[in-house]
Every structure is written in C-alpha cells, then in structure tokens.
Structure 1
Amino acid sequence: MKLHTRISLIFGFILVIGITIIGLYSLSRTYYIGLENTFGKLEITSRLTSNQIGGRLDNYMNLAAVSGRDPIISSSDASNADKLERMSVLAKQNGFESYDVLNLKGISYLNETNYSDKDFFQSALNGTAAISDIEKCEDGFEFTIAAPLYDESLTKIQDVVCYKMEIDFLKDILSSLNLSETSYAYLIDDNGNVIVHTNEELIDKVNISEEKGALSEIYNNLTEERTGSKEYTYNNTRVLCGYSPIPGSSGWSIVVAELYTTYVHDVNSMTYQMIFILVILLITFIIISRIVANLIAKPIIRVKDSLSKIAVGDFSENIKTIKNPKKYEVAVLTNTAAMMLDRLKKIVMDSTDILEGLSNYNLKQEKMDTYPGDFNKLSDSVNKISNILNELIVEVSQSTSYVGNGSKELAQAADALAQGTTTQAGSIQNVVSDIEDMAKRINRNAQNEKTVDQQIKNLNCLIQNGNGEMTNLVEVVKEVEAMSADIQKIVGTIDSIAFQTNLLALNASVEAARAGIHGKGFAVVASEVGALAAKSSNASQQTADLIESCLSKIEEAMNCANTTFDVLTRIVENSGEISKAFEEISADTNQQVENASSIQKEIVNISNVVQSNMATAQETAASTQVLSEQADTLDNLMRRFKV
C-alpha cells in the first residue's frame, strides 16, 4: 500500500471516528433532550388542562352555590313544586342538563331517590358546594354538582340543590389537545378508574391502580396530588405521558399521553438529516485529506526510494535537497536524509579501507577519522578492534607455544585415565550382576508372600461367613424357643377349653336327669361331649409334655450354638491378628524389593557413568593429540600477521 494511500486512510479513519463520536453524541443528546422536551410539554399540557377543567368545575360549583341563595327558592313560601320549577329555569340559564332539590334527609323532591349516603350531599349539608364522581346514565356518563339551599336569612340550610352535567364538555376539552396525531388524554377518579376518555370503550373498564409498573406509580403520585411525567407500557405499547390532579374535583386527575412511536419518528427524521450532513462533511474531509496526503507523501517517497537502495548497498544515488525549507517538516526531512547519505558514504568508505587491510593480514593501518554524534562510536569501535586484534595476535602467538607443550602432557595423562577407568568398569559390572540376582530372589519371595496372604484372607472370609451363619442359627433357635412358649400358652388355652367343656357336659347331664324321659337324648349328647372334653384334655397334656421335652432339647442346642459361636469368634480374632502380621511381613518384603530395585538402578547409573568416563578419557586422549597438531598449525598462521 502506498504512503499517500495510508496517510489518506489514517486521516479518513481519524475523521470517521471523530465524526462518528460527534454524531453519536449529538444523536444521544438530541434523543434525551427531545425526550425531556416531550415530557415537559406533556406535563405542562396536563397542568394547564387540569387548571382549565378545574376552572370550569369551580364555575359550575359557584353557579350551584348562587342557586342555593336564590330568593325565590329560599323563600319560606315556596313549595317543593315552586323550587323545582325555579331550578328548571336556572338549569337552562346555566347550561346544566338536569336539576333536583333534596331535603335534609337526602330524599329527592323530583323522584324521591335517596342520596343521603353520597359524599356530595354530605358536603352540601356542611355548607360546601361539591362535585360527585362520574356515573353512568342512560345517555352516557354524568356527574352531580350539589350546593346548600339556605333560608331567607341565608344562615340556615333548609335543602340541597343539585345539578347534573354530562361529560361532553370534558370530552371536548380533551379532544382539543392536538399535540400530535397520536396524542390523547383521559381522566381518572380517586380510585384510578378511567372516567373520561376519547375512546368511550375504555371508560369505567380500565383501572390504572390495578396495573403494575409505571401506571401504578403514576396513580400513587396522583393520590399525593403531585404533577409529573413518566413512560409506561399498556397492551405492549410504549406511551409517554404527563399527569396532574384537577383542583376542585372529587379526586379527579388528567393524563395527557402520546405514543412513543411518534416521538421516535420525529427523532429518526432529525437523525437522518444529521447523518446526511455528517456524510457530506466526511466526503469533504476525505477529499481534503487526500490532497494533503499527496503533498506530504511525494518527498517522503523520494527519500524512501533512496534509502531502499542504500539498504541493499547501493550508494550511487544522491538525494536532492530542497532550498529554504523553513518550517516545512517534509523539506527538513529530505535535507536531513541527504546529509545522512553523504556521511554514511564517507563512513562506509573509511571502514572498507581498514577492513580490506585486515583481510590482507595487515594490522598497520591508519585510524578512522572522527565523526559527529553516534557515528563516532563506529569509528572508535573499528579503531579499537584494530588495536585489540594487534594485541591479540601477539598474545596468541606467545600462547600457542605454551598450548603445544601442555597438550602433549595432557595426552599422556588422558591415556593413563582411560586405562584406570576400564578396570573400574569391569568391577562395577560384576557388582551389577550380583545385585540383579539378589533382586530376583527378593521378588520371588514377595510373590510367594502375596499368594500366602491371599489364602489367609480367603480363610478369614470363610471363618467370618461361618461366624455369620452361626449367629443366624442362634437367632433362629431363639425364635423357635419363643414360638414354643407361644405354643405352650395355646395348649394351656386348649386344656382350659376342655375343662370348661367337661363342666358344660356335667351341667347338661344334670339338666337331662331333671328332664327325665324327655332329656335322654340330650343326656347322650352330654355324655359324648364329656368324653370329647376328656380326650382333648389328655391330648393337650401330651402336647404339653412334648413341648417341654422340645424346649429342653432347644435349650441344649442353644448352649451348643453359643459355645460354637464363642469358639468361632476367637478364631476370627486370631485369624485377623495373623492376617495383620502377615500384611506387615509382606509390606517389609515389598519395601526390600523397592530398595533392591533402587540399589540396582543406582549401580547401573554408576556403571553408565564409569562407561561414560572411560569413553570421555579415550576421547580426551584423542582430542589432546589433535590439539597438539592444531597448536602447531595456529603458530604457523600467527606468523603471517604483520604486527
């Protein structure tokens, strides 16, 4: 890639990054400032609209309060019909939909409806005009405005006047809020129910206090009579809103909303415009950076081409200097490169002359000149190398003779060392053979011990199994003994039954004797029952004797089983001790095997070292012979240098 292209890319990349950062920051600020402005607009609109609605409601309550002081209605001579007739006139004059008068018990003079439990009635009785919640009626939704009706002295409340208003005027006010095509507004009561909405299907169907998230927070703020703005989501639609409580109402509040998509559309339009401007600026800056890159790159490319030839050893080309460079950095760079090229040529020429002399064994060369700055380090280094080589050749010539004599003596010592090492290697080989034989015998003993240990373990398992079976036998004998005791109880029960049966037979015989001739048949039966009872008693006695005999035998078997169990227990304990002792013997034998193996390895290592020493001694002897010959050769070479 060419230099001007790279410079253009660098400038372009920096410009792209800078403009992108500026653009992203501007877009971010635009987004958040626009969002804050939208929230502010919605909040201000909700506050102004709440004041407008509050003013209308205050006006209606004032009209109702004036009606409560009307001299015709307040007159003591006015009948209920007169009051209703006058209310009809006032309702038409003030624009109310309907009217009514309530007595102090809350009963309507018009249709006898009871309003005593309504908050607006209680407020009117306390002397304050009030507005009710919005309620559904035949034609839609309406609310009631109530005020106290005073007597002629205007000091005592005698009745309550009421007017009803439909919510059409509220709809008109909300519909007039045309902030955008998707903006809308709605009213909620103190319970969070939607009471007025441009979409009548939502009236009395939605309660924001029951919603989760932001809508619930909005309701909490309104219950605290706080004005604000917030974003919420309803039916998967993001909505921006401002909210404000309505003064003078019975807890009503207004919410002015706008779809988030409308705000995003406006932001996107501004974003597209800004992107277009940024693209135009980017293209302009890229063109300018391309022109500047060409101005900078051309002289640098010329310097680069010259330095490339110098890098391959071509000093034939010169760099053309620029006159009057002043503060133009590229011109200064070009002139500096030309100066550096001339100096390099001089240094290379001087270095070449000295090195050519050294290549011809001539150390009597003239020294290099002195150069400015770090270039002088090269001159000093070359001069020092020449001096060092001169001194080195002299010292090497002197040392060569010493090396020749020493190498001959070293050769003789190496031969003697090789012979001694050979003898030592033979002795170690015999030791290795004996250690290997001992290790094999120890391994054989270890294998035999493992076999015996395994047999002892098997015998121990068999003894333990027999001990377990004997334990089971003792338990079975105990169970049989317990069952025999139960059988003995059953036999006792049978004997008792036989005794009772015999008594029954005797009683039956007595009764048969009393019955005379009529009891003969029953006497025969009683006699047979008595005989059967005697047989049962004899059989139970024999069974008891057999059980006692069986119990004595079981007791003897129990004693034998306990004795056998004790013997097996002692055998198990002794076999465990034998097995433990044999395991210790086996462990010691295994340790001996490992020790013998380690000794064998160490002897082998010593043998290898001795073999290596022997080979090294032989190589040393050969090397010293070669060293002696090389010393003679080096002495001949040193004589060629001129020092």
Structure 2
Amino acid sequence: MKFKVKWNLRNKIILPTAMLIILGMAASTLITNYYATNAINSVSENRFEIQVNSNADRISDWLDARAVEVGNWAGNKTLSTATQDSFMGKAARKTSAEFLARLLGDYKDYESIFLVSKAGEVIVSGSIAEVKKQSLSSDQSFQNALRGEHVVSDIYRSEQSGKVVFNLLAPVYPDAVDRNANNVQGILMCTLTLETIAQKFVNSIKYGETGYGFLVAKDGDLVVHPDSSLVLKLNTYDLPFGEEMMSGNAKTMRYQFKGVDKFSAFKVVPRSGWRLVLTSNVDEFMANAYKIRNLLGVIGILVVVFVGLGVWLLMGRIVIKPVHQVVGLAKKLQVGDLSAQLETGNDELGEMGGALNAVVLGMRERAQAAKGIASGDLCQDIMVASEKDVLGKALFDMVESLNSVVGELTVSGQQVDEGARQISDSSQSLAQGATEQASSLEEISASMSEISTQTKTNADNAVQANQLAEEARRAGDEGASRMGEMMDAMSAINESSQQIAKIIKTIDDIAFQTNLLALNAAVEAARAGVHGKGFAVVAQEVRSLAARSAKAAQETADLIEGSSHKVSDGNDIAEKTAEALTGINDTITKVADLVGEIAAASNEQAQGISQINIGLSQIDDATQQNTANAEETSAAAQALSAQSTQVQAQLARFKIKGDGTCKAAYSGERAKTVRPAIGNKPRIQDGWGQDDSGSRTVEPNQLIALDDGEFGKY
C-alpha cells in the first residue's frame, strides 16, 4: 500500500535547499577529509620512514663498528702464528686462547670467539671447553671470508645459550701489510647475540600504543619480535604479504596480520640483508585523520542545522505568510466568495497580490453580467481584457451567441409551428391512403388464397401421377427382366439342340459302321457256304437294323435342325421384344421424371404463393401500422405546435440586442435576422441561411421546405 505524503510550500522550498546545503557540505567535507587524510598519511609515512631509516642506519653503523673491531682483532700477529701447524703455532694457540678469553671478558656483546683454520677446523676458542672437532668448510659464510671479505652470517639459535645469534667473520693475514685474499691464513669468527640490536635499535621503535618494530632475516625468518613465540618460527614468505615485503621494491605497505589491518614501513640494513620493519594498526595510524573527519562532519551538521533553521524562519516570514494569504483568497474563490481582498506590496509577492485583486474584480463584474444573463437580460456589455482573456472572450461570445440563438429560436419556433401543422395534414392524408391500401391488400390476399388452393390441388394430382408413372416404370423393368430370362432359356435350348445333333451324328456313324460290319459278315458267310447261312441271316438282320437306325437318326436330325431354326427365330423375336420393352421402360422413366418435376414445381409454386400470402399479410400489417403511425404523427405534430407556442412565450421574456428592448445601447426595429456569434465579425452559420456577407433576412419557408414533395414516395 502506497502512502502519499503531503508537502507544503515551506517543505518544498526548505528541503531542496537543505539537501543542496547537505550535499555541498558533504562534498566539501569529503574533499577536505580526502586531502587532510592524504596529508596526515604522508606525514605519518614520513615519520615511519624516518624512524625506520634512522634505526636501520644505526644498526648498520653498529655492525660496521663490530666488523672493524673484529678486523682489528684478526690482525693480531699471535692469531696469524696460531694458524700455523708448527711448534710456534701450537705455542701461539695458548696465547691466542688467552687473548680471545680476555676479549670475551671485556666485550659482553660476544657470546664466543673462534679461530678457524683454512680447512674449516676450530683451532682456538675464547673458552677451552668450546673447542670441538667440527668443520666449517662447507659453510657459505666461511667460504666468503676465505675470499678476504668481512662477512655477516645467517642468524640462528645458539646451541650453547639458546639465544638468537649471528657470526662476524674476518680473514686472518700473515701480517698487516700483506692483505691479499690468496694469503688468508685463517678466519676469526665471532658470535654475537641480537639482544643488543633488539634493545637499542628494534624494541626502542614505538608509534603510539600499537606500533612496534621487528627484524626480519634475509631468508624471511622473524629474528626480533615483541612476540617471542614467533622468533625463528614464522617465515615472512609464508604470509600473503611476504613476497611484497621481501621484494625490496616498496618502502611502505598495508596488510592484514591476525585479522588486524596494519601499516608498515621497512628498510634493508646494509651489509647484513636484514629488514627493519615498523608497523602499527591502521586505526591508530589513521587516528588523526579520523579525528579531522569527525570534526568536519560535526561542523557540517552544525552548519546545515543553523542554515536550515535560518532559512526556515526567514522563509516563514518573507514567503510563507503572503502565500498563506493567497491560499486563503483562493479558498474563498473556490467556494464562490468574491469579497476577498489582498494587501499589496512592492515586491513580487505584492505584484502577485495586485494581479489577484484585479482578477477578483474582473470576476465580480462578470458575475454581475452572468446574473443579468440568468434573469434574461442579454443586453450585457462584456469587456475583454486582452487577446488572451479566454473567460472574457467566452462571455462575450456567449452573450452574442445567446442573442443570435434566441432570435433564431423565435424564427425557428414559428417555422416549427407551421411545419407541425403541415405534418399533421400530411399525416391525416397518409392515414387515409394507408386505409385504402389495406382494403386492396385484403382483396389481393383473398385471390391469392384461392390460387394457392388450386395450386396445392394440382401439386397433389401431380404427385399421384408421379406415383403411377413410377409403378409403370417398375412393371416395365420387371417385364424387361423376364424377357431377358426367356432369352437366356431359349439360348440354352439352342445349345441343347446342337448337343443332340452331335449325338445323332454319332448314332449315324454307329449305323454306318454296323452296316459295314453286316456287309463284312455277309461276305464271310458267302465264303463259308452252307455253314455260313445262319450267320448270313443274322448279318442281313443287322444290316436291316442299321439301315433303320440311320433312317431314324436322319429324321431326328431333320427335326432337331427344324427346331433349332425355330428357336433361333424365337430368340430374334425375343430380342426385338426386349428392345421394345426397354424403349417402353425408358419412355415411362422420362414420363415419371417429367411428372416428378411437375409435382416439385407445383409444390414450389404452392410454397411461393404461401410466401406471397405471408408477404401480403406483412404488408397489410405494415400498412395498418403506417396508418396508426400517421395518426400518431398527426397527434404529435399538434402537440409540437402547442409546445412551439409555449417556447415562443418563454423566449418573449429575453431582452436581446436589435429588437428595441435594449434602450440604452440599441435602437431600431428588430427583424427576423441571423446574427454573427462574436462582435461585428461576420461568421458563417451553415444551415441557418447566412452567407459570408453577414446577416440577412430570411423567411421560415426558406429554412424548412413545407411542400408535399418533401414526402417523396410516401
């Protein structure tokens, strides 16, 4: 659900102003804080770098002093002799041991001092108990010292004391003059603790409450740190920022250690490669910047509050009070109270009050004119203040238009009255004609009913004839079918006769063969003589029988051939009879189709006549309705004429310009004219008989044609 907040004028002015002030102060505070923070950061970074550089240089100086110190000790002739593997050398070792022991007693920074041969064997120590069989030949620091260098070794934890120590190595030469690297006789190795460096140069570095220093060996191990548990346990390279810190490219950096944001500055200690680091929590490092930021924020808030309060008070006195007066005037105008008046001044608000007073005065004058118009006085003179005075122009146009409309309505009322009378007369004539049409339609409807009855009877007879024709067609089809069956039977008889002829032919052949056999038997009987007489009698009988069979077969064949010819003639007659029946059937079919079409046409005619009867009935209804409508129109026209008379009576109470009722401003006799809508500027009023030349006199019959031709076919 959305809530709309109502903003008053004071808030609309003050809140944007306050927002601009807040934005300006915020921008100013941010810019000032940015540059102040950068300046403080720069100063703090310089302080960090100065402390780190100073202490790193001090460590370097201290290491240089120790290196010179050890170098001077290495120049002792006794030490050079002690490096020799001879009687003199062995004798010198005892003296050298006493010398080194004396040095350990005098210089507390050293934990131990050794004299090492070129082979890397410890040959003399400041303490006899420290001499061990150990070789330093593989130690890189030892190898560098053999090349004539003063070397600072890696840092480690001493097995003897458990302290964090480192070695200073210096070459031992035969004499002080010959210091060639090729003449190195041995190495003087001094072990020093980091306690002095830690106390003097590392732990003494402080920055506020959280700042502290620590020392990192060149291999990355922490060797001096306030948290002793990290010494030689934590390697810087194992930390996310270790590479950057040990790269040597940066002097300062920000990082996180144990979840705390820190800022640090560091420097490499010459000769040793160690890194001295000063670190502090960022919150403390930026404390001064935060104080300035907070101070600027408080100042900005106070400025916004005081400026906003001043604007609030001044705005209420200078702007809001006059605006409230204007709002009061507007509310009175809203409810139609035109009696209000504003106090005016010389400023813009005073000019606005004067303009509003003028508006109220003009509204009063126009209200008076409206009251006159409401009472029917259309003789009002409306003053238009300027071309942009929309209300004045509208009132002026309204008065002119009302004058024109009232005049036109008067003329139109007369025309309507005359037209209503003519419509009444025409409606009565129309009603009489409609009554006569209704009578004629009734007669036509009766005639069409008789025609419809006769057509229906014809249609029924045609249907019966169609049924009889259909029965005749079916009988013809049945006769044609039976004739076809008879033709098939005669064809079968003909085929049977042909088969019998073949059988008779076979019988004739058998008789012929029998006759031949009888003849052969007679010949054989003749040859047999007396013994063949009986056989001859039998042969004669057989031949006689064969002759009779042949004769009977011939007669039967003749009869069958005659029957076949008769069957063929009967078949031809049957075919012709079938063709005749087929023609009769086709003719009956055509007759049936024609009778069916006649029946269908008769039905359609009956339906059409029925539709005509319905249409005539509807025309009759419409004619009767027209008669009723004409009577109602006549009554309505009479009522319209009466209302037109009432309208003219109502229009008579208006005073309009040009009809003599406005005595002061107008004179002359009013004619039935159509006036322009505004002033003296002519306006075309299509449909009311006015042309481009201005007003002209018109007659009622010119606006509404009253002749009977307007009704057209009605």
Preserved contact between residue 397 and residue 635 of structure 1 (Cα < 8 Å): no
Which AA in structure 1 matches 2:227?
Answer: N
Superposition TM-score, scaled by structure 1 size: 0.57
CA distance in 1, matches of 2:47, 2:98: 47
Q: Which residues in structure 2 correspond to 1:572-587 (within 5 Å)?
A: none
CA distance in 1, matches of 2:644, 2:62: 124
Preserved contact between residue 166 and residue 194 of structure 2 (Cα < 8 Å): yes
Which of 141, 144, 154 is the matching residue for 1:120?
Answer: 141
1:373, distance to aligned residue in structure 2 (A): 6.6
Which AA in structure 2 matches 1:386?
Answer: V
The answer to whether structure 1 residue 333 and structure 2 residue 342 are counterparts is: no
CA distance in 2, matches of 1:121, 1:625: 144
Which AA in structure 1 matches 2:383?
Answer: D
1:342, distance to aligned residue in structure 2 (A): 3.6
The answer to whether structure 1 residue 196 and structure 2 residue 224 are counterparts is: yes
* 1:355/1:222 CA distance change after superposition, 3 Å: closer
Which of 293, 312, 327 is the matching residue for 2:335?
Answer: 312
Corresponding residue number in structure 2 for 1:154: 179
Which deviations, in whole Å up to 9, do the C-alpha atoms of 1:182-207 show, x marking residues without a partner? 11111122332111112222101112
1:337, distance to aligned residue in structure 2 (A): 3.0
Preserved contact between residue 47 and residue 227 of structure 1 (Cα < 8 Å): no
1:151, distance to aligned residue in structure 2 (A): 1.8
1:164, distance to aligned residue in structure 2 (A): 1.3
Corresponding residue number in structure 1 for 2:369: 354
Classify the secondary structure of the residue corresponding to 1:337: helix
1:248, distance to aligned residue in structure 2 (A): 1.1
Corresponding residue number in structure 2 for 1:104: 118
Preserved contact between residue 267 and residue 275 of structure 2 (Cα < 8 Å): yes
Structure 1 stretch displaced more, 627-636 or 18-27 = 627-636
CA distance in 2, matches of 1:227, 1:362: 100
Q: Which residues in structure 2 correspond to 1:384-533 (within 5 Å)?
A: 384-394=397-407, 401=415
Classify the secondary structure of the residue corresponding to 2:254: strand
Corresponding residue number in structure 1 for 2:311: 289
Preserved contact between residue 123 and residue 130 of structure 1 (Cα < 8 Å): yes
Preserved contact between residue 354 and residue 365 of structure 1 (Cα < 8 Å): yes
The answer to whether structure 1 residue 637 and structure 2 residue 637 are counterparts is: no
1:96, distance to aligned residue in structure 2 (A): 4.4
CA distance in 2, matches of 1:270, 1:252: 37
The answer to whether structure 1 residue 185 and structure 2 residue 227 are counterparts is: no
Classify the secondary structure of the residue corresponding to 2:310: helix
CA distance in 2, matches of 1:35, 1:632: 105
* 1:301/1:95 CA distance change after superposition, 3 Å: same
CA distance in 2, matches of 1:410, 1:106: 151
1:209, distance to aligned residue in structure 2 (A): 1.3
Query: What percentage of aligned pairs have identical amino acids?
Result: 17
CA distance in 2, matches of 1:231, 1:95: 38
The answer to whether structure 1 residue 65 and structure 2 residue 81 are counterparts is: no
CA distance in 1, matches of 2:52, 2:423: 112
Q: What stretches of structure 1 of length at least 5 have no aligned partner?
A: 326-330, 420-613
Preserved contact between residue 69 and residue 154 of structure 1 (Cα < 8 Å): no
1:258, distance to aligned residue in structure 2 (A): 1.0
* 1:71/1:95 CA distance change after superposition, 3 Å: farther
CA distance in 1, matches of 2:135, 2:69: 23
CA distance in 2, matches of 1:44, 1:123: 33
1:356, distance to aligned residue in structure 2 (A): 3.1
* 1:288/1:360 CA distance change after superposition, 3 Å: closer
Structure 1 stretch displaced more, 178-187 or 392-401 = 392-401
Corresponding residue number in structure 2 for 1:492: none
Corresponding residue number in structure 2 for 1:54: 60
* 1:627/1:338 CA distance change after superposition, 3 Å: farther
CA distance in 1, matches of 2:307, 2:228: 58
CA distance in 2, matches of 1:221, 1:396: 103
Which of 163, 168, 185 is the matching residue for 2:195?
Answer: 168
* 1:383/1:109 CA distance change after superposition, 3 Å: same
1:177, distance to aligned residue in structure 2 (A): 0.7
Preserved contact between residue 109 and residue 192 of structure 2 (Cα < 8 Å): yes
Corresponding residue number in structure 2 for 1:608: none
CA distance in 1, matches of 2:258, 2:427: 103
CA distance in 2, matches of 1:626, 1:38: 112
Classify the secondary structure of the residue corresponding to 1:109: strand
Report the count of equivalent residues: 425
1:388, distance to aligned residue in structure 2 (A): 3.1
CA distance in 2, matches of 1:67, 1:46: 31
Preserved contact between residue 45 and residue 242 of structure 1 (Cα < 8 Å): no
CA distance in 1, matches of 2:258, 2:294: 30
Preserved contact between residue 10 and residue 316 of structure 2 (Cα < 8 Å): yes
Hey, which of these two has a bigger chunk of helix by percent?
Answer: 1
Classify the secondary structure of the residue corresponding to 1:113: coil
Q: Which residues in structure 2 correspond to 1:584-623 (within 5 Å)?
A: none
Corresponding residue number in structure 2 for 1:254: 276
Query: Root-mean-square deviation (CA), in Å?
Result: 4.1
Q: Which residues in structure 2 correspond to 1:20-59 (within 5 Å)?
A: 20-23=26-29, 26-27=32-33, 34-35=40-41, 37-59=43-65
Preserved contact between residue 193 and residue 205 of structure 1 (Cα < 8 Å): yes
Classify the secondary structure of the residue corresponding to 1:169: helix
Which AA in structure 2 matches 1:231?
Answer: R
Q: Which has the larger radius of gyration?
A: 2
Which deviations, in whole Å up to 9, do the C-alpha atoms of 1:345-392 show, x marking residues without a partner? 4322332343334324443433x2242573x33322322233333344
The answer to whether structure 1 residue 210 and structure 2 residue 226 are counterparts is: no
Preserved contact between residue 52 and residue 266 of structure 2 (Cα < 8 Å): yes
1:275, distance to aligned residue in structure 2 (A): 4.4
Classify the secondary structure of the residue corresponding to 1:204: coil
CA distance in 1, matches of 2:635, 2:397: 33
Classify the secondary structure of the residue corresponding to 1:161: strand
1:121, distance to aligned residue in structure 2 (A): 0.6
Which AA in structure 2 matches 1:352?
Answer: A
Classify the secondary structure of the residue corresponding to 2:207: coil
Preserved contact between residue 156 and residue 165 of structure 2 (Cα < 8 Å): yes
CA distance in 2, matches of 1:176, 1:239: 19
Corresponding residue number in structure 1 for 2:708: none
* 1:357/1:288 CA distance change after superposition, 3 Å: closer
Superposition TM-score, scaled by structure 2 size: 0.51
Classify the secondary structure of the residue corresponding to 2:262: strand
1:246, distance to aligned residue in structure 2 (A): 2.1
The answer to whether structure 1 residue 224 and structure 2 residue 259 are counterparts is: no
